[in-house]
Amino acid sequence: MRTDFGYFEEKQLGKPYDVKLLKRLYPYARPYKLLLGLSIVLMVVITLLDLSLPYLTKIAIDRYIVPQAESVQGLGRDVADSNVRYLRADLADAKVEAIVQKNADIFKRYESFALVKLDDLEQLEKKELAVLRRSDLAGVSMIAAYFLVIVLVTFVLNFVQVMVMEYVGQMIMHNLRVRLFEHIQSLSVAFFTRNPVGRLVTRVTNDIQNMHELFTSVIVFIFKDLFLLLGITAVLLGINWQLTLISFMVLPVVLLASIHFAGQAREAFRVLRIKIAEINTKFSETIGGLKVIQLFLQEKENYRDFSKLNHEHYLAGMRQVHVFAVFMPVIELLGAVTIAIVIYYGGGKVMTGSISLGALVAFISYMRMFFRPIRDLAEKYNIMQNAMASAERIFLILDSTERLPQPVSTVERGSTSGLKTQTFTSALDNITQIALKDVSLAYIKGETVLKRVSFKVSAGETVALVGPTGSGKTSIINLITRFYDPTSGQVLVNGIDIKKIHTFQLREKMALVMQDPFLFSETVRDNITLGKDGILGKNMQQLIKDSNCNTLIDRLPRGLDTVLAEGGMSISSGERQLISIARALARNPDLIILDEATSYIDSSTELKIQKALSNLMANRTSIIVAHRLSTARGADRIMVLNRGRIIETGTHDELMQRQGFYFRLYQLHSPNL
């Protein structure tokens, strides 16, 4: 069988639209929209609390630490200079009265209060200053308490918000991975001949994991950062709109830098996703072919190939690092320039009395805070680019339609993934006849491997397919099991085109025993039953007996509950074959298909397998792909294939009497006969 050639490179995608990708991701987030809404509300509250902290600093400085000058109009020429700042002392307080009397030279008395220049306060003792400013100290203490409460509340809200978003992110990632796995399982065999295992593993693991941060941090935190930027802008405009406009002169430069680096980051992440998939593919191929690599002394060559891929991944990673290593300092530099502008222009305003010292301090704090969400947005964009590069690859698979068309008469049921899968009312009671009618097949357009093949197999009949390698034997099996559809012609079951029978119904009535059977890294029992219920007690014992697995089961440390190694490599090929026969018996099929089940087996094990196969084939329709012609001798009918055509048909004796192609083939396989 031939389906494709060479290593299939990752596709270079065109320019995608992030909005479209986000729209496609939305259905996975929709079940959690209430939790997402709650998280956004929490982020808004947290942002408001963050915005209040610098303003509390402004209040503390202007109202309590460096209070504004008292209004002195109408108090005489000696206090008429509005540029001089005074502290008001209430004479109703006995302690204050005593301090004023003691330092009468610096106080100016009035009926119920006294004024002292702020510059003269340094002449007072610390205790006296504490008495005069105890209301200011109380105010500062109150502001500090508010500050601490806000910080604690923000901590609690941040904890709740992170927990909510982590739950949402994990669930979305869980559902997306299950959906992708479910979709991959539904694709036709042709899809897997063009997509290496390593690439598909990357999609289900690395690429899905990359979506995690998109859902847990990017989506909600973008709301926070944008809201924070708008909030800071509003507060700054309220403090001093002229200073705000001057400070924002650098924003066009920030915007241009962000757009420039964003394009470079996108391409870097795309290359990274490709290289990770290629590394996984190479590693998977190395593990699978390790015996061949070691046998033919290809370790160094294979190492060089892997090193080349790894170096390309390193270069792509360094390109990504370079982009952000330049971008982040640029943003820091622009932020520093903005702060310098604020200090220069705002400092002059403080000196002229246009704005207060507290306002300038708060302004600087807000400007530092302003560039923090810009840096955060850059980092989130970094994450988003990585996630979008992964989303492109994930949807490339989800968009694949390489599945066999199924009949529409189906009903739906819920699956464990929360999505809809299909189950089917059985319309195929028993297989009474298999027929191929003028069937042709081409795996690659223009390269036909079967040419107008026609035959029938009746219920209870045993038919053997023989012929040289590449003659089309396995291709016929692929058509009967509907791993592929014919290029032309029809495959009929009970006179019905199998395209009108769902593969679920069709394969439920079949069992395939392959040359090299595949076993899962589960228990022997699970490998035999494959989820089929009702095989317990005496039924299981009889099944083990009929499949000749008694000796194997008795030898295993935990019998049927022994866990096998990956691929069943902990047992011999003959023992794997016996378990696969037991698996076929457990299905109780109408049609048995054998792809030369004894071709890799030693003579003693072959006798056990032949006995097990006899039990399996008893009273069942059987199709045997016979590489050893001795296997075909007992068949009711032998069909000889060559170059995609059936050239001879008959029993062994009939074909030998004709002395045609089968005769010559048999002579080659059995020269002593």
Q: Give the mean model confidence (pLDDT) for residues 599-604.
A: 60
* pLDDT for position 536: 62
Which of 76-80, 189-193, 435-439 bottoms out in mean pLDDT, i.e. has the lowest? Answer: 76-80
How many residues are there in the chain?
A: 673
Dihedral sign from CA coordinates of 212, 215, 220, 223: positive
Q: What's the pLDDT tens digit per position in 636-658?
A: 999 999 999 999 999 999 999 99
* pLDDT for position 77: 47
Phi, psi of 89 (to 5 degrees): -120, 130
Q: Give the mean model confidence (pLDDT) for residues 475-479.
A: 91
Q: What's the pLDDT tens digit per position in 504-531?
A: 888 888 888 887 788 888 888 888 887 6
* pLDDT for position 83: 57
Q: What is the C-alpha separation between 627 and 669, in angstroms, rounded?
A: 10
Q: Which residue has the tokens 């390269």?
A: 447
Q: Give the mean model confidence (pLDDT) for residues 377-388.
A: 73
Residues 111 and 86: beta-carbon distance below 8 Å: no
Q: What's the pLDDT tens digit per position in 100-131?
A: 888 888 888 887 888 887 777 778 888 888 88
Of the candidates 596, 595, 593, 591, the residue with the CA atom closest to the CA atom of residue 620 = 591
In the predicted model, is pLDDT for residue 9 greater than 50?
no
Q: What is the C-alpha separation between 673 and 665, in angstroms, rounded?
A: 12
Q: Which amino acid is at 222?
A: I
* pLDDT for position 74: 46
Q: Give the mean model confidence (pLDDT) for residues 133-150.
A: 87
Q: Give the mean model confidence (pLDDT) for residues 272-286.
A: 81
Residue 40, CB-side half-sphere exposure with 13 Å CA sphere = 14
Q: What is the C-alpha separation between 576 and 574, in angstroms, rounded?
A: 5
Other CB atoms within 10 Å distance of the CB of residue 27:
11
Q: 455 falls in which pLDDT band (50, 70, 90)?
A: very high
Q: Helix H segments across 289-404?
A: 290-295, 299-351, 357-398
Of the candidates 488, 490, 493, 518, the residue with the CA atom closest to the CA atom of residue 505 = 493
Going from N- to C-terminal start, the domains of the chain cover: 18-63+139-398, 441-669
* pLDDT for position 148: 94
CATH class of 441-669: alpha beta
Which of 27-31, 254-258, 317-321 bottoms out in mean pLDDT, i.e. has the lowest? Answer: 254-258
Q: What is the C-alpha separation between 395 and 401, in angstroms, rounded?
A: 12
Q: 218 falls in which pLDDT band (50, 70, 90)?
A: confident
In the predicted model, is pLDDT for residue 154 greater than 60?
yes
Q: 602 falls in which pLDDT band (50, 70, 90)?
A: low
* pLDDT for position 93: 81
Of the candidates 168, 176, 179, the residue with the CA atom closest to the CA atom of residue 217 = 168
* pLDDT for position 8: 41
- DSSP tag of 61: I
Q: What's the pLDDT tens digit per position in 196-216?
A: 777 788 888 878 887 877 777
Which of 48-57, 364-373, 649-658 bottoms out in mean pLDDT, i.e. has the lowest? Answer: 364-373
Which of 86-100, 257-271, 451-465, 534-548 bottoms out in mean pLDDT, i.e. has the lowest? Answer: 257-271
DSSP-derived 3-state class of residue 136: helix
Q: Give the mean model confidence (pLDDT) for residues 348-366.
A: 79
Q: What's the pLDDT tens digit per position in 231-240?
A: 888 888 888 8
Other CB atoms within 10 Å distance of the CB of residue 669:
13
Q: 4 falls in which pLDDT band (50, 70, 90)?
A: very low
CA geometry: angle at 644 spanning 640 and 647, to 5°?
A: 35
Question: Where on the phi/psi map is residue 226: left (φ > 0), alpha (ψ -120 to 50), or beta?
Answer: alpha
In the predicted model, is pLDDT for residue 416 greater than 50?
no
Of the candidates 186, 190, 192, the residue with the CA atom closest to the CA atom of residue 502 = 186
In the predicted model, is pLDDT for residue 396 greater than 50?
yes
* pLDDT for position 374: 74
166-191 burial, b at 16+ Cβ within 10 Å, e below that, comes to eebbebbbebbbbbbeebbebbbebb
Instruction: State the average pLDDT for the chain.
Output: 80
Q: Which amino acid is at 499?
A: K
The whole model's pTM is what? 0.68
Q: 418 falls in which pLDDT band (50, 70, 90)?
A: very low
In the predicted model, is pLDDT for residue 494 greater than 70?
yes
CATH class of 18-63+139-398: mainly alpha
Specify the higher pLDDT residue, 670 or 284.
284
Number of separate helices (H) and strands (E) present in the chain: 24, 15
Q: 427 falls in which pLDDT band (50, 70, 90)?
A: low
Q: 378 falls in which pLDDT band (50, 70, 90)?
A: low
Residues 559 and 553: beta-carbon distance below 8 Å: yes
Residues 599 and 466: beta-carbon distance below 8 Å: no
* pLDDT for position 341: 82
For residue 221, give every residue at least 6 positions away whose Cβ sits within 8 Å of its Cβ, in sequence order, or none: 43, 376, 380
Q: Which amino acid is at 58?
A: K
Residues 43 and 50: beta-carbon distance below 8 Å: no
* pLDDT for position 534: 61
